[in-house]
Structure 1
Amino acid sequence: MSDPAKQVPITPSANQGAKAPAPAAGPFDTLRRQIDSLFDDFGRAPLRLPFGHSAFDVEPFWRREPFARGLPAVDVSEQAEEYRISAELPGMDEKDIEVKLANGNLVIKGEKKEEKDEQRKEYHLSERHYGSFERVFRLPREVDPEKVHAQFSRGVLQVHLPKRAEAVHPEKVIPVKNGD
Protein backbone atom coordinates (compact mmCIF):
# COMPACT_ATOMS: atom_id res chain seq x y z
CA MET A 1 0.00 0.00 0.00
CA SER A 2 2.90 2.37 0.64
CA ASP A 3 4.65 3.91 -2.33
CA PRO A 4 8.38 3.28 -2.62
CA ALA A 5 10.56 6.39 -2.53
CA LYS A 6 11.34 7.75 -5.98
CA GLN A 7 14.56 9.53 -6.84
CA VAL A 8 14.17 13.15 -7.91
CA PRO A 9 16.99 14.29 -10.22
CA ILE A 10 19.04 17.29 -9.15
CA THR A 11 20.26 19.35 -12.06
CA PRO A 12 23.07 21.89 -12.04
CA SER A 13 22.12 25.29 -13.42
CA ALA A 14 23.44 26.42 -16.81
CA ASN A 15 23.47 30.13 -15.86
CA GLN A 16 26.22 30.18 -13.26
CA GLY A 17 26.64 33.98 -13.51
CA ALA A 18 23.06 34.84 -12.56
CA LYS A 19 22.09 35.58 -8.99
CA ALA A 20 18.96 34.42 -7.19
CA PRO A 21 16.28 37.13 -6.97
CA ALA A 22 16.48 39.14 -3.78
CA PRO A 23 13.35 39.42 -1.64
CA ALA A 24 11.73 42.82 -1.29
CA ALA A 25 13.61 44.84 1.31
CA GLY A 26 11.72 46.55 4.08
CA PRO A 27 13.10 48.95 6.68
CA PHE A 28 13.95 46.14 9.11
CA ASP A 29 15.65 44.09 6.37
CA THR A 30 17.88 47.07 5.63
CA LEU A 31 18.64 47.49 9.35
CA ARG A 32 19.50 43.79 9.67
CA ARG A 33 21.93 44.01 6.70
CA GLN A 34 23.54 47.10 8.25
CA ILE A 35 24.02 45.27 11.56
CA ASP A 36 25.55 42.28 9.74
CA SER A 37 27.83 44.70 7.89
CA LEU A 38 28.85 46.29 11.20
CA PHE A 39 30.04 42.91 12.49
CA ASP A 40 31.95 42.39 9.21
CA ASP A 41 33.64 45.79 9.69
CA PHE A 42 34.97 44.74 13.10
CA GLY A 43 36.74 41.78 11.51
CA ARG A 44 34.34 39.24 12.98
CA ALA A 45 32.16 37.11 10.82
CA PRO A 46 28.50 37.86 11.45
CA LEU A 47 26.59 35.28 13.38
CA ARG A 48 25.36 33.13 10.52
CA LEU A 49 23.08 30.15 10.57
CA PRO A 50 23.05 27.54 7.79
CA PHE A 51 21.09 28.15 4.59
CA GLY A 52 21.63 31.89 4.33
CA HIS A 53 20.17 33.21 7.55
CA SER A 54 21.87 35.33 10.16
CA ALA A 55 21.14 35.36 13.87
CA PHE A 56 19.31 38.68 13.34
CA ASP A 57 16.78 37.28 10.85
CA VAL A 58 13.27 37.74 12.15
CA GLU A 59 10.12 37.12 10.14
CA PRO A 60 8.07 40.27 10.76
CA PHE A 61 4.48 39.63 11.80
CA TRP A 62 3.14 41.82 8.96
CA ARG A 63 4.91 39.68 6.32
CA ARG A 64 4.46 36.25 7.85
CA GLU A 65 0.97 35.41 6.56
CA PRO A 66 1.17 36.60 2.91
CA PHE A 67 4.70 35.23 2.51
CA ALA A 68 3.77 31.80 3.85
CA ARG A 69 0.66 31.43 1.69
CA GLY A 70 1.24 28.97 -1.13
CA LEU A 71 4.67 27.81 0.04
CA PRO A 72 5.22 24.26 1.25
CA ALA A 73 6.07 23.60 4.88
CA VAL A 74 9.82 22.91 5.11
CA ASP A 75 11.92 21.43 7.92
CA VAL A 76 15.70 21.90 7.90
CA SER A 77 17.79 19.72 10.18
CA GLU A 78 21.47 19.07 10.72
CA GLN A 79 22.88 15.64 11.45
CA ALA A 80 26.53 14.82 12.09
CA GLU A 81 27.22 13.99 8.44
CA GLU A 82 24.57 15.86 6.47
CA TYR A 83 21.93 18.55 6.37
CA ARG A 84 18.43 17.42 5.50
CA ILE A 85 15.57 19.44 4.03
CA SER A 86 12.06 17.95 4.16
CA ALA A 87 9.29 19.64 2.20
CA GLU A 88 5.63 18.66 2.48
CA LEU A 89 4.15 18.51 -1.02
CA PRO A 90 0.78 16.76 -0.69
CA GLY A 91 -1.02 15.88 -3.88
CA MET A 92 2.06 16.34 -6.07
CA ASP A 93 3.95 13.82 -8.17
CA GLU A 94 7.72 13.69 -8.56
CA LYS A 95 7.36 14.79 -12.21
CA ASP A 96 5.92 18.11 -10.92
CA ILE A 97 8.99 18.83 -8.75
CA GLU A 98 12.34 20.26 -9.84
CA VAL A 99 15.37 20.29 -7.54
CA LYS A 100 18.54 22.00 -8.76
CA LEU A 101 21.79 23.54 -7.60
CA ALA A 102 22.44 27.04 -8.95
CA ASN A 103 25.08 29.58 -7.87
CA GLY A 104 25.61 28.06 -4.43
CA ASN A 105 21.87 27.73 -3.85
CA LEU A 106 19.50 24.79 -3.63
CA VAL A 107 16.32 25.57 -5.57
CA ILE A 108 13.14 23.57 -5.05
CA LYS A 109 10.39 24.36 -7.56
CA GLY A 110 7.03 22.77 -8.10
CA GLU A 111 3.78 23.21 -9.93
CA LYS A 112 0.49 21.61 -9.06
CA LYS A 113 -2.25 21.25 -11.64
CA GLU A 114 -5.49 19.69 -10.56
CA GLU A 115 -8.62 19.41 -12.63
CA LYS A 116 -11.90 17.93 -11.50
CA ASP A 117 -14.78 17.36 -13.87
CA GLU A 118 -17.88 15.74 -12.40
CA GLN A 119 -21.08 15.30 -14.35
CA ARG A 120 -24.30 14.00 -12.90
CA LYS A 121 -27.88 14.17 -13.93
CA GLU A 122 -28.59 17.11 -11.61
CA TYR A 123 -25.44 19.16 -12.15
CA HIS A 124 -22.05 19.57 -13.86
CA LEU A 125 -19.05 20.51 -11.67
CA SER A 126 -15.78 21.62 -13.21
CA GLU A 127 -12.90 22.85 -11.00
CA ARG A 128 -9.31 23.71 -11.79
CA HIS A 129 -6.59 24.45 -9.26
CA TYR A 130 -3.17 25.65 -10.34
CA GLY A 131 -0.29 26.80 -8.26
CA SER A 132 3.47 26.96 -8.29
CA PHE A 133 6.14 27.65 -5.72
CA GLU A 134 9.88 28.15 -5.52
CA ARG A 135 12.04 27.92 -2.42
CA VAL A 136 15.73 28.92 -2.51
CA PHE A 137 18.24 27.92 0.18
CA ARG A 138 21.83 29.19 0.24
CA LEU A 139 24.06 26.15 0.73
CA PRO A 140 26.47 26.13 3.67
CA ARG A 141 30.14 25.90 2.66
CA GLU A 142 30.54 22.46 4.17
CA VAL A 143 28.00 20.82 1.79
CA ASP A 144 29.48 18.62 -0.96
CA PRO A 145 27.39 19.57 -4.03
CA GLU A 146 28.46 16.42 -5.93
CA LYS A 147 26.74 14.16 -3.37
CA VAL A 148 23.41 15.99 -2.96
CA HIS A 149 20.43 13.73 -3.66
CA ALA A 150 16.65 13.87 -3.25
CA GLN A 151 13.82 11.39 -2.74
CA PHE A 152 10.07 11.82 -2.97
CA SER A 153 7.65 9.49 -1.22
CA ARG A 154 4.06 9.85 -0.06
CA GLY A 155 3.93 13.63 -0.52
CA VAL A 156 7.23 14.40 1.23
CA LEU A 157 10.40 15.52 -0.57
CA GLN A 158 13.64 14.72 1.30
CA VAL A 159 16.81 16.47 0.07
CA HIS A 160 20.03 15.08 1.55
CA LEU A 161 22.99 17.47 1.61
CA PRO A 162 26.07 15.49 2.74
CA LYS A 163 28.90 17.42 4.33
CA ARG A 164 32.43 17.29 2.94
CA ALA A 165 34.71 14.88 4.78
CA GLU A 166 36.77 17.72 6.28
CA ALA A 167 33.59 19.35 7.64
CA VAL A 168 32.56 16.32 9.68
CA HIS A 169 34.33 16.76 13.01
CA PRO A 170 34.32 13.78 15.36
CA GLU A 171 33.97 14.64 19.01
CA LYS A 172 37.21 14.79 20.93
CA VAL A 173 37.44 14.98 24.71
CA ILE A 174 40.24 17.29 25.89
CA PRO A 175 41.72 16.15 29.23
CA VAL A 176 42.05 18.85 31.86
CA LYS A 177 45.40 18.69 33.67
CA ASN A 178 46.27 20.01 37.05
CA GLY A 179 48.24 23.26 36.70
CA ASP A 180 50.14 22.92 40.02
Structure 2
Amino acid sequence: MFEYFSFDSLSINDIQISPETKNSLDQKMMDLSLNQDKFVFVSPQANTCSDIDVSTCARLQDMLTKLGYDVFWNVSNQYLEINNIKSCFLSLQEAFVLVKKAKYFIALRSGFAELLVWSQTPSCIIYTAFKHRNNENYIRSAKLCLEGFTLTKAPRCNMDLKEFVVETKEDYDEIFAEIKEDLCH
Protein backbone atom coordinates (compact mmCIF):
# COMPACT_ATOMS: atom_id res chain seq x y z
CA MET A 1 0.00 0.00 0.00
CA PHE A 2 2.79 2.44 0.90
CA GLU A 3 4.52 1.81 -2.41
CA TYR A 4 1.24 2.19 -4.30
CA PHE A 5 0.74 5.66 -2.83
CA SER A 6 4.46 6.51 -3.16
CA PHE A 7 4.92 6.72 0.61
CA ASP A 8 8.22 4.82 0.52
CA SER A 9 10.09 7.45 2.45
CA LEU A 10 7.28 8.74 4.70
CA SER A 11 8.37 8.97 8.31
CA ILE A 12 6.89 10.31 11.51
CA ASN A 13 8.87 13.52 11.00
CA ASP A 14 7.10 14.11 7.66
CA ILE A 15 3.67 14.40 9.23
CA GLN A 16 2.71 18.07 9.51
CA ILE A 17 0.35 19.42 12.17
CA SER A 18 -1.17 22.87 11.73
CA PRO A 19 -0.56 25.62 14.30
CA GLU A 20 -4.35 25.80 14.81
CA THR A 21 -4.43 22.13 15.83
CA LYS A 22 -1.53 22.60 18.24
CA ASN A 23 -3.15 25.69 19.77
CA SER A 24 -6.52 23.96 20.12
CA LEU A 25 -4.91 20.96 21.81
CA ASP A 26 -2.84 23.16 24.15
CA GLN A 27 -6.01 24.96 25.28
CA LYS A 28 -7.88 21.69 25.86
CA MET A 29 -5.01 20.23 27.91
CA MET A 30 -4.70 23.43 29.92
CA ASP A 31 -8.46 23.27 30.66
CA LEU A 32 -8.04 19.67 31.85
CA SER A 33 -4.87 20.45 33.84
CA LEU A 34 -3.18 17.46 32.21
CA ASN A 35 0.46 17.06 33.23
CA GLN A 36 1.93 16.89 29.74
CA ASP A 37 5.36 15.96 31.11
CA LYS A 38 4.19 12.66 32.60
CA PHE A 39 0.98 11.16 31.29
CA VAL A 40 -0.47 8.07 29.65
CA PHE A 41 -3.04 8.16 26.82
CA VAL A 42 -5.71 5.43 27.15
CA SER A 43 -8.31 4.46 24.54
CA PRO A 44 -10.44 1.56 25.88
CA GLN A 45 -13.20 1.56 23.26
CA ALA A 46 -13.57 0.45 19.66
CA ASN A 47 -16.34 -0.14 17.16
CA THR A 48 -15.19 -3.68 16.42
CA CYS A 49 -13.64 -5.21 19.55
CA SER A 50 -15.38 -5.58 22.91
CA ASP A 51 -14.69 -2.52 25.07
CA ILE A 52 -12.60 -2.64 28.21
CA ASP A 53 -15.15 -2.40 31.02
CA VAL A 54 -15.41 0.63 33.31
CA SER A 55 -14.28 -1.22 36.47
CA THR A 56 -11.10 -2.41 34.74
CA CYS A 57 -10.46 1.13 33.50
CA ALA A 58 -10.91 2.42 37.05
CA ARG A 59 -8.28 -0.09 38.24
CA LEU A 60 -5.93 1.09 35.48
CA GLN A 61 -6.52 4.74 36.43
CA ASP A 62 -5.72 3.90 40.04
CA MET A 63 -2.51 2.06 39.16
CA LEU A 64 -1.24 4.79 36.83
CA THR A 65 -2.04 7.54 39.34
CA LYS A 66 -0.17 5.65 42.10
CA LEU A 67 2.83 5.45 39.74
CA GLY A 68 2.72 9.26 39.45
CA TYR A 69 1.20 9.48 35.98
CA ASP A 70 -1.63 11.66 34.82
CA VAL A 71 -4.05 9.92 32.43
CA PHE A 72 -5.90 11.18 29.36
CA TRP A 73 -8.91 9.03 28.46
CA ASN A 74 -10.29 8.86 24.93
CA VAL A 75 -13.76 7.67 26.00
CA SER A 76 -17.50 8.15 25.78
CA ASN A 77 -19.72 9.29 28.63
CA GLN A 78 -20.15 5.92 30.37
CA TYR A 79 -16.53 6.09 31.54
CA LEU A 80 -16.87 9.53 33.12
CA GLU A 81 -17.75 7.94 36.47
CA ILE A 82 -14.07 7.01 36.92
CA ASN A 83 -12.54 9.20 39.63
CA ASN A 84 -10.52 12.17 38.39
CA ILE A 85 -10.96 11.26 34.73
CA LYS A 86 -9.51 13.69 32.20
CA SER A 87 -11.22 13.48 28.84
CA CYS A 88 -12.49 15.71 26.07
CA PHE A 89 -13.22 15.52 22.37
CA LEU A 90 -10.09 15.43 20.22
CA SER A 91 -9.78 15.55 16.47
CA LEU A 92 -7.64 12.78 14.99
CA GLN A 93 -4.81 15.28 14.50
CA GLU A 94 -5.04 16.40 18.13
CA ALA A 95 -5.08 12.79 19.31
CA PHE A 96 -1.96 12.05 17.25
CA VAL A 97 -0.09 15.03 18.72
CA LEU A 98 -1.17 14.11 22.25
CA VAL A 99 -0.16 10.45 21.89
CA LYS A 100 3.21 11.58 20.53
CA LYS A 101 3.71 13.61 23.76
CA ALA A 102 2.58 10.75 26.03
CA LYS A 103 4.98 8.49 27.91
CA TYR A 104 2.81 5.48 27.01
CA PHE A 105 -0.19 4.63 24.82
CA ILE A 106 -2.70 1.97 25.90
CA ALA A 107 -5.50 1.10 23.49
CA LEU A 108 -7.97 -1.48 22.43
CA ARG A 109 -7.12 -2.78 18.95
CA SER A 110 -8.86 -0.48 16.49
CA GLY A 111 -8.29 1.57 13.39
CA PHE A 112 -7.72 4.51 15.73
CA ALA A 113 -4.91 2.62 17.49
CA GLU A 114 -3.47 1.53 14.14
CA LEU A 115 -3.04 5.18 13.16
CA LEU A 116 -1.71 6.30 16.52
CA VAL A 117 1.06 3.69 16.79
CA TRP A 118 2.75 5.79 14.09
CA SER A 119 3.48 8.27 16.88
CA GLN A 120 6.35 5.99 17.95
CA THR A 121 5.19 6.24 21.58
CA PRO A 122 5.70 2.99 23.54
CA SER A 123 2.38 1.19 23.20
CA CYS A 124 0.26 -1.58 24.67
CA ILE A 125 -2.47 -2.80 22.32
CA ILE A 126 -5.18 -5.02 23.77
CA TYR A 127 -7.12 -7.55 21.70
CA THR A 128 -10.59 -8.62 22.73
CA ALA A 129 -13.17 -10.60 20.80
CA PHE A 130 -15.13 -8.83 18.09
CA LYS A 131 -18.48 -7.51 19.24
CA HIS A 132 -21.84 -7.26 17.48
CA ARG A 133 -21.21 -10.28 15.29
CA ASN A 134 -24.19 -12.57 14.71
CA ASN A 135 -22.77 -14.60 11.84
CA GLU A 136 -20.77 -17.72 12.83
CA ASN A 137 -18.09 -16.87 10.27
CA TYR A 138 -16.98 -13.78 12.22
CA ILE A 139 -14.07 -13.92 14.61
CA ARG A 140 -15.22 -14.22 18.21
CA SER A 141 -11.87 -15.12 19.77
CA ALA A 142 -9.45 -12.42 20.93
CA LYS A 143 -6.57 -14.74 20.08
CA LEU A 144 -7.78 -15.04 16.48
CA CYS A 145 -8.14 -11.24 16.35
CA LEU A 146 -4.48 -10.91 17.30
CA GLU A 147 -3.37 -13.55 14.81
CA GLY A 148 -5.32 -11.92 11.99
CA PHE A 149 -4.83 -8.27 12.78
CA THR A 150 -1.53 -7.90 14.63
CA LEU A 151 -0.01 -4.45 14.38
CA THR A 152 3.53 -5.83 14.57
CA LYS A 153 3.26 -6.80 10.90
CA ALA A 154 2.14 -3.34 9.76
CA PRO A 155 4.71 -1.41 7.71
CA ARG A 156 6.69 1.15 9.71
CA CYS A 157 4.90 0.08 12.86
CA ASN A 158 6.11 1.21 16.26
CA MET A 159 8.55 -1.45 17.36
CA ASP A 160 8.14 -0.48 21.02
CA LEU A 161 4.78 -2.20 20.90
CA LYS A 162 3.33 -4.94 23.08
CA GLU A 163 0.15 -6.78 22.17
CA PHE A 164 -2.04 -8.72 24.58
CA VAL A 165 -5.04 -11.00 24.29
CA VAL A 166 -7.88 -10.66 26.77
CA GLU A 167 -10.33 -13.51 27.01
CA THR A 168 -11.11 -13.27 30.73
CA LYS A 169 -11.06 -10.38 33.18
CA GLU A 170 -8.06 -12.00 34.93
CA ASP A 171 -5.95 -11.47 31.79
CA TYR A 172 -5.77 -7.77 32.72
CA ASP A 173 -3.59 -8.60 35.74
CA GLU A 174 -0.74 -9.69 33.44
CA ILE A 175 -1.23 -6.65 31.21
CA PHE A 176 -1.19 -4.25 34.16
CA ALA A 177 1.99 -5.89 35.49
CA GLU A 178 3.69 -5.39 32.09
CA ILE A 179 2.55 -1.78 31.88
CA LYS A 180 3.81 -1.13 35.40
CA GLU A 181 7.18 -2.69 34.56
CA ASP A 182 7.46 -0.57 31.39
CA LEU A 183 6.64 2.65 33.21
CA CYS A 184 8.88 2.00 36.21
CA HIS A 185 12.15 1.31 34.41
TM-score, normalised via structure 1 length: 0.28
TM-score by length of 2: 0.27
Give the structure with the larger helix fraction: 2
Q: Pick 1 or 2: higher relative contact order, CA cutoff 8 A, min separation 6.
A: 1
From the CA coordinates, give the structure whose radius of gyration is larger: 1
